[in-house]
Amino acid sequence: MSRAVRICLLPGDGIGPEITDEAVKVLLALGERHGVVFDLHEALLGGAAIDQTGSALPDRTLAEARAADAVLLAAIGGPAWDTTDPDRPRPEQGLLGLRKELGLFANLRPVRIFAPLADASTLRPDVIDGVDMLIVRELTGGLYFGERAREREVADAGGPGRAGMRAYDTCVYDEFEIERIARTAFEAARGRRRLVHSVDKANVLETSRLWREVVHAVAADYPDVALVDMLVDNAAMQLVRRPAQFDVMVTENMFGDILSDEASMLTGSLGMLASASLGEGTALYEPSHGSAPDIAGRGVANPLAMLLSVELMLRMSLDMDAAADDLSAAIAETLGAGFRTADIAADDTPPELLMGTAEMGDQVVARL
């Protein structure tokens, strides 16, 4: 009897539906190979949800996510929904709300170099040689969730005739939030090279000073894992200077958002970086790139980050390591055969090896 697995699919906006199609093709192929029935339930999130329901996170979507064994999200956002009006919904509110409602406090982003793509990075091959790191980002605290507002200043408060608007965003962290993300990082490091870099701004920010104190307290429970403190500005520099030094990097919400996007370029493209968001409820898997509205509908987007997110989902939520190994090997073989989408192609890539979204997905499926 086949095993049934329920997946909530969130295609979202921009290139999202296109790369979701490739994920579905891969899941169906894997299901046939491994005797699993993937029960796929598609729901709205982000701009598409705003257009149809007025909300970036409709109630039905949240219910589908809670009922699923895992959630697979493609991408959200785009200029059609950009606004500075605090009273209008934005696509990002859907993702932030989904993470909060599902209790997803840890975002894991593996950064690894596929040997055939060494030349796709903007850094020299000798700089990225040996890069295999995991960025662990706290997801539910910090500036993205703190109190924020705009208000009109009192006339002349900044000098004669200087009345105007002021805005603020508040960065807040509780001790328990720091402790649980630190434990996530140390546990991950035990299965890797046993090294954690904790990234903060403790020379300036009080939240970072608390962060450092709590991380050191947690480290005492992991004497087999080395801990290195690193200021965020130095971490940004070291990621492009000597990235292979990192094993597990743990940091707060905004720092992690920025550094993980920087780290993605070590691989040559955001189109090669997957992520997993874990916590108390259904886990969420998504590529780290955005919705790329400039190429949406053209069939040229790189689907591999989406497929690598499927690999993470198979391993971390579905206990399907053999299927994940098959998918990882199929992606590596596809790249090894020279097939490329435009974002990872070299100037001299032969036209017959230059693939669109569906063609790249087909190449991976063929190797399954």
**Torsion sign across C-alpha atoms 266, 269, 270, 273:** negative
Q: Given 144, 173, 222, 285, which residue is catalytic?
A: 144
Helix (H) or strand (E) holding 231: strand 226-231
Q: Given 21, 69, 229, 261, which residue is catalytic?
A: 261
Whether 222 is catalytic is no
Structure tokens that stand for 276 in this block: 């997993």
Q: What angle do CA 332, 334, 338 make, to 5 degrees?
A: 110
User: In the block, which residue shows the tokens 């990097």?
Assistant: 249
Whether 233 is catalytic is yes
Measured distance CA(131)–CA(128) in Å, rounded:
6
Q: Given 13, 25, 201, 326, which residue is catalytic?
A: 201
Measured distance CA(53)–CA(133) in Å, rounded:
39
Three-class DSSP category at 149: strand
Q: Given 82, 119, 174, 233, which residue is catalytic?
A: 233
Whether 25 is catalytic is no
What one-letter code names the amino acid at 66?
Answer: R
Q: Which of 258, 238, 254 is nearest to 246 (CA)?
A: 238
Three-class DSSP category at 366: helix
Whether 326 is catalytic is no
Whether 201 is catalytic is yes
The single-letter DSSP state of residue 153 is P
Q: Given 247, 257, 326, 343, which residue is catalytic?
A: 257
What one-letter code names the amino acid at 159?
Answer: G
By annotation, the residues acting in catalysis are 144, 201, 233, 257, 261
